A and B are shown apart, each in its own frame.
Chain A
Amino acid sequence: MAKLVDIVQRESCFQPGSALCPGCMEGMAFQNIGKLTDNGRKTIFTLGTFCGEVSTLQYPTPVAWGRGERTPDDWTKSFGVIHHVFESAPTVAEGIRDMADLLATTGALPGPVQVCALSGDGGALAIGLRPLLHTIARRTRIVIFVMVNEIYANTGFQYSPTTSIGAETSTTPATETVPGNFMPPIDYIGLAVTAGAGLVAQVSPAFPKYFCRVVEAALACSTTAVLFIPSPCITGWKYEDGTTITLARLGCETGFFPCFLKEEGRPGQLKFVELDPGKRPAIEEFMGPQRRFHHLVRKSPETGSFEARPGREQIFSQIRASIQQRLESLTRLTV
């Protein structure tokens, strides 16, 4: 792995000028992925439709993608990006991969090409679950990044299949009778592993060294690598400015979205989270700062720390059970 100090000095293919919300985790991820792909190989990204696309690839406002102030003299630093339809990023990437491989086979290319697909969790795990799993099953040599913010942020923060239990969204309102979303989130990591990905990970820029190491491994993977990047959404989750990284770390440590890595043929790892619930931070610490959980959590009048609202104990039991089940299931996948 390249040294972190070297990686941060590389030229990112994601530059200032996007319309992403200030404090958006997707922007941080793009910045870092952009630097990690500055590795001497020509880079091509495919984007499905998601907030990370509409906020970064607009005409005529400056497109936030591309390396350098002007066209690079070095072809390997040049950058191609295409947005196609919602669910298409992995399949479009597959078409590019095959064309590049075919050109390479005939000797028509001067150097290697790396192809990455970027989607939101709606594009990849709801409307796009089929293309995602089939692209993985075909073992296509691409890296798929899925930004998991647990909502359809692009259309106004509605429920997605990754929405946490209890979360209030635009389509799972918290009322007297319904406590927000009651559907358990889809096991997207398990699905990707089962479909046959060469590398499956859940990583966050909130753990920068680990993030860089895993992304580098993904770029070197000989088949499909899938990286899920939990993306706290300042607007959709409704939290205070400046706490994105804190929430991303807490989200992992409390077990909502644990860091995970499984490479084909190697033992996997569950990182930065304890399997023993007693050793993990309380889930209220993660949920408390987010207004999407305010119907469930409050600040204790006595201690000032976050606690479950009276009468909401049952849903808390459900959330804790769901997290424990997820961690145990991921642990089984690491074998």
Chain B
Amino acid sequence: MSMPAIETIGGARYPDAIDLAKVRDAHRPLATERKVVEADGNTAAAYACLQMWRAVCFAGFPITPSTKWLEVVTDTVARGTVGCKRVKLMEAEHAVADYLAGAAAACRDLIVATATSSVGLDHMTESTRSLGASGLGNILLINVYRAAANYPLCIEGDPSDALAHRDDGWIQICCRGVQQIYDVVLQAPCIGMHPEVLTPVMPGYYGIKDSHRGSRLILEPDHAIEAFHDRWIRPSQWPGLINGDTALGNCVTSQFFQGFKIDQRSRMERVLTLLPRIGADFEETFSRPGLEFVEPLSWPVDNTVDLAIVAMGPDAGTAAALAPEIGKECGCKIGVLAAQLLTPFPHAQYAARLAHVKAVLVVNQAHHAGHGHLTHEIAQACYPLPKPPAVVSCFAGMGGATVSDATWLAMVRHAVTASRRGERLPRPVIAHEGRIIWPN
């Protein structure tokens, strides 16, 4: 079966071997026009996956609190609602990741997806670490945050799973709220499959707090999503296993290992340039905020902030709502930033925001041996500033605990006191139910 081949440094590609138009034609839309539905976070993430014509292969193994994503996907595909798609139910998360590796490598132009959580992500580790370096940007892994350690087992939202996997090589984006979950999942392949990035994406959101919270969700029509994707996703220039004469996953000696890692790092750094452009296009297209590095939730236009709070997930919204009142009580002007892009971490963007604040309260919701995952990154971002602020680290909401109004007040008071003492990087504390509970 003779057909032309194009030589690349990654092997030869037969551009006519796969007729993608046929796959596109086989897709059936979930929404033909914009509509408003009621959905929880898992359902929103599932809808976004099902609406992309390129997303054809799904795999999963149920784990709380991500299970409903798999249930919605299997149910919708089984009904034939979205046309020709396939769901594979595997025996374990490790197998899910291996399966996605094969499916993604088989055809680089189509998206493969799964959702998992906690130890499920840990069980995938051997594979996710390989995939992070693989150049297979067409893999989407939705991570529903849940505490990773099983001593004690805790099924509520705690991002220790995602944060323990920051070196896996994936683009990690933290979402907040049902609509943002949907929107981020829709944008994720645009960044991951971009020819200058080719890195798998791990959108994440808090288990229970967001995965199980019902909310209003605007579903965009599939054709609008297709048009948006087509502006960013082009046919892969690299051969896949089906349309290529190629080898993936070779062994190398340490001499050549360096080059592969430099390439991986360079592709990841391109995210910092491309992400805001994709986000801006999304906003222009759908009239909702698109991808951004960090969400300024309560931030004055004139940048006059004394204490900046940096947090993740839905609790950052609570902080924003409380900021004026707590600020008045503590005698300082508070601004709130919600972290969105976790990996690569946008240090420069934080530095620009934090250049003139007196102190930063960093709220970490995952256990960490040191000052906290987020604190390390913020401290690094602030280090080159001419007058770096104090970076005050708190742990709160671990194990998905509620971060109450009183807890926010206690943390702000602690940050103000510590920074007034002149401490640049005080010892971290744990706050819970309105008190600093550690150290005693």
Contacts and interface: CB of A to CB of B under 8 A. Distances in A.
Contacts of A85: 98, 126-127, 130
Given A82-B241, A92-B99, A110 B1 contact: yes
Nearest to A60: B256
A53 interface: yes
B251 interface: yes
Contacts of A83: 247-251
Contacts of A113: 242
Interface in A88-146: 88, 91-103, 105-111, 113, 130-131, 134
A54 interface: yes
B231 interface: no
A80 interface: yes
Interface of A: 42, 44, 46-47, 53-54, 57-60, 63, 65-66, 71-76, 78-88, 91-103, 105-111, 113, 130-131, 134
Given A57-B251, A94-B102, A99-B56, 10 more contacts: A44-B242, A73-B5, A75-B3, A80-B239, A83-B250, A93-B102, A99-B102, A107-B19, A107-B22, A111-B1
B12 to A, nearest CB: 4
Nearest to A76: B1
Classify the secondary structure of B's interface with A: mixed
Contacts of A54: 251
Contacts of A57: 247, 249-251
Given A59-B256, A73-B2, A88-B101, A66 B245 contact: yes
A146 B357 CA distance: 62
Nearest to A84: B101
Nearest to A127: B126
Contacts of A53: 251
B22 A108 contact: yes
B104 A79 contact: no
Contact of A131 (B88, B98, B101): B98
A195 to B, nearest CB: 12
B401 interface: no
Label chain A's interface by main secondary structure: mixed
Contacts of B240: 80
Contacts of A91: 90, 95, 98-99, 102
B57 interface: yes
Interface stretch (B105-113, B304-312, B365-373): B105-113
A44 B236 CA distance: 19
A47 B250 CA distance: 10
A58 B25 contact: no
Contacts of B250: 57-59, 63, 83
Contacts, number: 189
A78 B244 contact: yes
Contacts of A100: 106, 242
A205 to B, nearest CB: 24
B190 interface: no
Contact of A106 (B84, B94, B244, B246): B84
Q: Across the A-B interface, give the 9 residue pairs with the lowest CB-CB distance, nearest first.
A: A95-B102, A80-B241, A95-B103, A83-B249, A92-B102, A99-B106, A91-B98, A71-B12, A78-B245
Interface string B9-21: 0001010111110
Nearest to A53: B251
B26 interface: yes
Contact of B92 (A60, A86, A130): A130
Contacts of A97: 102
A98 B1 contact: no
A54 B94 CA distance: 22
Given A71-B245, A78-B244, A107-B19, A98 B86 contact: yes
A185 to B, nearest CB: 24
Given A66-B245, A75-B3, A95-B104, A102 B56 contact: yes
21 contacts: A44-B106, A46-B102, A57-B249, A58-B253, A71-B7, A73-B5, A74-B1, A75-B2, A78-B14, A86-B126, A91-B95, A91-B99, A95-B59, A95-B106, A96-B106, A99-B106, A103-B23, A103-B242, A108-B23, A109-B242, A131-B94
